[in-house]
């Protein structure tokens, strides 16, 4: 028997996760699980894991949310690195 999974799309890539998985945990399937670029262009990924540091903010179904406090739902569209400064 296969365990039930939820599928999300992260920057177009389909990811399968167990129900109840956070978006931050799902993104880590593609190491290093990058979520954003800093104001000076450094790659960043989740730091605090509990909604404090805002390093994991990503765009989820059109809204900016914290990946560590958002659970994956079927068909969810996640876009990382949305705050990248204009070139």
Partner 1 sequence: MTSSSPSPTHERCDILIIGAGPAGIAAALAAAPSGAAITMVDDNPAAGGQIWRDGPGATLPPLARQHREALARHANIRLLCGTRVVGLGERQRADHAPALLLEDADRGWTQHSHRVVLCNGARELLLPFPGWTLPCVTGAGALQALVKAGLPVRGQRIVVAGSGPLLLAAAATAAHAGAQVVRVAEQANWRALAGFATQLPRWPAKAVQALTLLHPQLRAGSHVLEATGGGQVQSVRLRAGRGEETIACERLACGFGLVPNTHLGQLLGCALGGPLSGGLGLQVDAQMRTSVAGVYAAGECTGFGGSERALAQGAIAGHAAAGNTTPVHALQATLRRWEGFAQALQQSFALNESLKTLARPDTLVCRCEDVPHAELAGRTGWIDAKLHTRCGMGACQGRICSAATQHLFGWTPAPPRHLLAPARIATLAAAGDDAPSG
- What residues make contact with partner 1 under the rule CB under 8 A? 17-22, 24-26, 28-29, 31-34, 38-40, 42-55, 57, 63-65, 68-71
Supply the minimum distance, in Å, between the C-beta of residue 37 and partner 1: 10
Task: For residue 85, give every residue at least 6 positions away whose Cβ sits within 8 Å of its Cβ, in sequence order, or none.
Answer: 37, 39, 41
Cα angle: 28, vertex 30, 36; to 5 degrees = 70
Supply the minimum distance, in Å, between the C-beta of residue 52 and partner 1: 5
Supply the minimum distance, in Å, between the C-beta of residue 12 and partner 1: 20
Specify the residue, 12 or 63, whose C-beta has the smaller distance to partner 1.
Answer: 63
CA atoms within 13 A on the CB side of 83: 20
Cα angle: 13, vertex 83, 23; to 5 degrees = 40
Specify the residue, 6 or 12, whose C-beta has the smaller distance to partner 1.
Answer: 6
């Amino acid at each position: 028997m296969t365990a039930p999974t939820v599928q999300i799309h992260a920057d177009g890539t389909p990811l399968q996760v167990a129900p109840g998985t956070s978006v931050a945990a799902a993104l880590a399937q593609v190491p290093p699980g990058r979520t954003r670029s800093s104001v000076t262009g450094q790659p960043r990924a989740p730091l605090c894991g509990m909604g404090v540091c805002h390093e994991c903010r990503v765009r989820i179904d059109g809204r900016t949310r914290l990946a560590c406090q958002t659970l994956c739902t079927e068909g969810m569209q996640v876009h990382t690195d949305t705050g990248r400064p204009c070139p």
